[in-house]
Amino acid sequence: MEEEGVIPKLLTWYEINHRLLPWRETKNPYEIWVSEMILQQTRVDQGLPYYKRFLDKFPQITDLAVAEETEVLAVWQGLGYYARARNMHKAAKTICNERSGIFPDTFEEIKRLPGIGPYTAAAIASFAFKEKVPCVDGNVKRVVARWKGWSDDIGTARFFNLSFDFLETVIPGASPDVFNQAMMELGSLVCTPHSPNCRVCPLMETCEAARLGKQSELPVKIKKTKVSKVQIHYLLLRNPDGEVAFTQRPSNGVWGGLYELPSVEFPESKNTTARVNLFFENLGIENKVLIANESHLLSHKKIEAFLWKVSDISVLEDLGLKIQWAKKEQIKSFPKHKLMLKFVPYWDVKSS
């Protein structure tokens, strides 16, 4: 296979050009796992301070296992995709309760842990234990699509399986960890989504996209996510002691387990304004002040959020929410999602 001939060039390129990152300096599976979970949907420059903060708070897997979920979410605050943090907490408990704190050391065993899919399992097995198993993440899929000239949709299971099977034929048994790191680094630094730097690519001589001049056409990704528009109206209510009403979101779903102000959500439509006015009217809210308005974008939802100061705390009885009254210092310790953090500056400045 001609692709095998360029593997030594790929490994040499990596040794010379790779970024120095702390998770590349360790063989500790727990530390590698932490880095991989953080870097899902997160750029390296954004993820690095979270990686350090997470390990400062939970240096050993036993520390994570015995922590309260709110502690874990608080450390994760701002990263988004909070199911990652909750799954890490569950997996840490599983490892400590069922394996005496010993991290599983094979791809198949690791893959059975909560929240760990084929890519993350392969990364841990390869980097920590040198198992010969390919890592197929977004960067690697882009490299493979151009390298092989494949025009299949890279978002499909079929493309993942094709890539995995192909890489199994070229991954070197002596250095699977270096190969996997090299493929991901190549996708991050050279074979980028736009304007790939083909002249310095170690795979150039066997790259089909380069041969055919199709670098800008590959990979193919068919967008399927439909973004819905919603309005969320948050209520800022204080009791006579100056405490603020907060509620904790259900553990499943968006922002699971995080704290926020009491709210109501409406799908965006032509009659949204009328529905919102009727909602406030039915609650008997006559005196309300709009403090702030913020926009927020999730992968599947565009949110227009409003923060209302409401003086009548009796309205909480009609919302059917479990309310926790909290003082300013306590609120700081609550894990909160990014949209809620946008409203923090307004609480003391405009609502006292």
Split at pLDDT 50, 70, 90, the class of 317 is confident
CATH value at residue 318: 3.90.79.10
Is 218 within a domain? no
Q: Where are the alpha helices (DSSP H) in 190-313?
A: 208-212, 272-283
Distance CA 136, CA 36 (A): 13
pLDDT of residue 225: 72
Q: Is the pLDDT of residue 25 over 50?
A: yes
pLDDT of residue 204: 96
Place of tokens 């993350």: 120
Structural domain for 99, as ranges: 2-212
Q: Is the pLDDT of residue 287 over 90?
A: no
Q: Are residues 126 and 273 in the same domain?
A: no
Is 235 within a domain? yes
pLDDT (average), residues 52-56: 98
Q: Are residues 126 and 245 in the same domain?
A: no
Q: Are residues 7 and 153 in the same domain?
A: yes
pLDDT (average), residues 43-52: 96
pLDDT (average), residues 78-95: 94
pLDDT of residue 281: 87
pLDDT of residue 351: 42
Work out the mean pLDDT of the chain and round it to a whole number.
93
Q: Are residues 183 and 288 in the same domain?
A: no
Q: Which residues are catalytic?
A: 36
Number of Cβ within a 10 Å radius of residue 151: 14
Is 220 within a domain? no
Count of structural domains within the chain: 2
pLDDT of residue 348: 62
pLDDT (average), residues 271-295: 88
CATH value at residue 95: 1.10.340.30
Look up the pTM and report it. 0.86
Distance CA 175, CA 24 (A): 14
Residue among 291, 192, 183 nearest 244 (CA): 291
Question: Which of the listed residues 188, 212, 236 is the one where a domain comes to its end?
Answer: 212
Is 165 within a domain? yes
pLDDT of residue 8: 97
Q: Are residues 70 and 146 in the same domain?
A: yes
Q: Are residues 285 and 330 in the same domain?
A: yes
Q: Is the pLDDT of residue 350 over 70?
A: no
Q: Are residues 62 and 205 in the same domain?
A: yes
Name every residue whose Cβ is closer than 8 Å to that of residue 109 and which is 6 or more positions away in sequence: none
Q: Are residues 75 and 190 in the same domain?
A: yes
pLDDT tens digits along 94-153: 999 999 999 999 999 999 999 999 999 999 999 999 999 999 999 999 999 999 999 999
Token pair listed for 320: 């059917």
Distance CA 44, CA 308 (A): 37
Q: Are residues 255 and 134 in the same domain?
A: no
Is 222 within a domain? no
Q: Are residues 134 and 267 in the same domain?
A: no
Is 217 within a domain? no
C-beta separation of 226 from 306 below 8 A: no
More confident residue, 326 or 3: 326
Q: Is the pLDDT of residue 77 over 80?
A: yes
Q: Are residues 189 and 319 in the same domain?
A: no
Is 44 within a domain? yes
Report the share of the chain in percent with pLDDT over 70.
98
pLDDT of residue 251: 85
More confident residue, 272 or 231: 231
Q: Are residues 328 and 180 in the same domain?
A: no
